[in-house]
């Protein structure tokens, strides 16, 4: 009996001794596992993670540049001798847009087009309250039933924008006809008033409404002679003068109008609005490069793009038509680049209704 008791006490003592030894060496074992794990990760350039150890169980933390690198880190740690399990808690960075991928800012624009039938207000407003304020100002000065609201809500209006827009609306009743476009902080306004004194008054009123926001402006306000009516010849001359000074450009081999031509098209829209009795044919012409069929098709599509732009600016669609003549009506030699450039053109052909 005594031998059995002595043997049992010896076994218990041995177990306690082993337990004490393991407890003393456990931290050293875990630290060795951390060191070897870190070394394995650093060897392949993974220095953005850190390791947590609980016995032989490893927890990975940090932020990886990509999902593939996060998974690679987990695989490397699993291959380290002595590791039992891996809990991969590494996050993945959210991708950011490069400078080249960020779209260019869209110009903030509102337009007012007035003729004898009323006024069209189109473009952008930042919210419903601003829309209501602009339309109310226009309605107050020209009549509720004569205002067409074609505005859309778009954020990003410049400082002082509402004051400028309301200022334009407030002088609508002073114009016989008007085409005003406010793009960001630049106003281009053209129109006809009945007298020099009215012109002075509206220019001062507009300048006052723009002053708070530091806006720039360009005016072209005319005072016609009494009973002057736009004639076929004068309308045609105005179109030809504008197109001689500048040219409508399109994307290469496409019918999409280049943004650099918007200013010219705005001026053409103003003339078209003033020539209220005129039917206008928009003619498209190309050089002789390519097949005749493709050139005619391209010239037709480009003429139609111009018609769509003018219509969007308030010119009545029933006054406009598009015709594509392709390469059939050259004005210069197609054998030279300079000649071909002249042949690629848009022309306006005016016919006063009833003439």
pLDDT at 116 over 80: yes
Asked whether 278 and 235 are in contact (CB, 8 A), the reply is yes
Predicted confidence at residue 139, as pLDDT, reads: 93
pLDDT at residue 220, as a whole number: 87
**Fold type of domain 106-228:** hypothetical protein tt1634 (3.40.1520)
- Sheet-wide strand order for 118-125: 147-153, 118-125, 109-115, 175-183, 186-193, 216-222
Query: According to CATH, where is 3.30.1330.60 located in the chain?
Result: 229-355
What confidence score (pLDDT) does residue 349 get?
92
> What average pLDDT does the segment 33-47 reach?
81
pTM above 0.85, yes or no: no
pLDDT at 343: 93
**229-355 topology per CATH:** 60s Ribosomal Protein L30; Chain: A; (3.30.1330)
Q: What percent of the chain has pLDDT over 70?
A: 85
Q: Give start-end residues of each CATH 3.40.1520.20 domain in the chain.
A: 106-228
Q: What percent of the chain has pLDDT over 90?
A: 46
Task: List phi, psi (to 5°) of 304.
Answer: -65, -35
Mean pLDDT, to the nearest integer, of 202-216? 83
User: What are the tens digits of pLDDT across the range 225-265?
Assistant: 543 344 556 888 899 999 999 999 999 889 999 999 999 99
């Amino acid at each position: 009996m005594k031998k059995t008791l002595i043997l049992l006490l010896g076994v218990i003592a041995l177990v306690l001794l082993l337990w004490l030894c393991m407890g003393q060496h456990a931290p050293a074992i875990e630290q060795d596992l951390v060191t070897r794990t870190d070394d394995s990760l650093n060897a392949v350039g993974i220095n953005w993670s850190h390791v947590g150890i609980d016995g032989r169980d490893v927890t990975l933390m940090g932020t990886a540049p990509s999902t593939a690198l996060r998974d690679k880190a987990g695989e490397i740690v699993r291959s380290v001798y002595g590791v039992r399990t891996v809990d991969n808690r590494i996050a993945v960075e959210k991708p950011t847009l490069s400078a080249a991928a960020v779209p260019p800012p869209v110009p903030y624009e509102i337009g007012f087009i007035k003729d004898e039938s009323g006024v069209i207000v189109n473009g952008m407003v930042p919210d419903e309250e601003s829309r209501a304020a602009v339309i109310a100002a226009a309605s107050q000065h020209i009549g509720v039933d004569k205002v067409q609201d074609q505005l859309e809500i778009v954020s990003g209006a410049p400082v002082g924008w509402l004051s400028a827009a309301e200022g334009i609306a407030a002088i609508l009743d002073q114009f016989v006809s008007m085409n005003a476009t406010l793009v960001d902080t630049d106003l281009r306004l053209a129109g006809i008033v009945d007298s020099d004194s009215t012109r002075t008054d509206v220019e001062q009123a507009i300048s006052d409404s723009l002053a708070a926001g530091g806006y720039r402006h360009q005016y072209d306000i005319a005072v016609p002679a009494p009973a002057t009516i736009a004639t076929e010849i004068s309308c045609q001359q105005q179109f030809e003068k504008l197109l001689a000074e500048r040219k409508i450009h399109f994307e290469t081999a496409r019918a999409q109008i280049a943004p650099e031509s918007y200013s010219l098209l705005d001026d053409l829209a103003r003339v078209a609005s003033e020539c209220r009795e005129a039917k206008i044919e928009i003619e498209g012409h190309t050089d002789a490069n390519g097949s005749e069929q493709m050139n005619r098709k391209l010239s037709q599509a480009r003429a139609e793009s111009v018609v769509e732009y003018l219509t969007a600016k308030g010119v009545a669609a029933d006054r406009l038509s598009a015709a594509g003549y392709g390469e059939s009506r050259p004005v210069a030699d197609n054998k030279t680049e300079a000649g071909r450039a002249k042949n690629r053109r848009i022309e306006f052909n005016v016919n006063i209704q009833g003439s």
